[in-house]
Amino acid sequence: MRIARRFVVSGRVQGVGFRWFTHDAASREGLTGWVRNLPDGRVEAFVEGDSDAVTRVERAIRRGPGRAHVERVTIADEAPGGAYTTFSIT
């Protein structure tokens, strides 16, 4: 089943390669969407694809790259729209 989720990640998540980490995890799973830094220091990602693959990327996001310290992940389910063909860093 195809699903979409938006993640907002708080903690030490900027300046530690978090966007690249998320990009690599999502791309490996064949997911589409994007990831970006927010002005307040958080990272936001929109991920769309197979539900099992999205769940695996969620686990990776909750862990983060080695230098990150994830304090909180807010998740919102969204309707999959198929608007993206790749996963990008914006």
- Please report, for residues 1, 31, 45, the alpha-carbon distance to residue 19 in angstroms, rounded to integers and kept in the order given: 26, 15, 9
- 19 is known as an active-site residue: yes
**Which one of the listed residues 37, 42, 62, 63 is annotated catalytic?**
37
- 42 is known as an active-site residue: no
**Which one of the listed residues 19, 36, 42, 59 is annotated catalytic?**
19
Residues with a known catalytic role:
19, 37
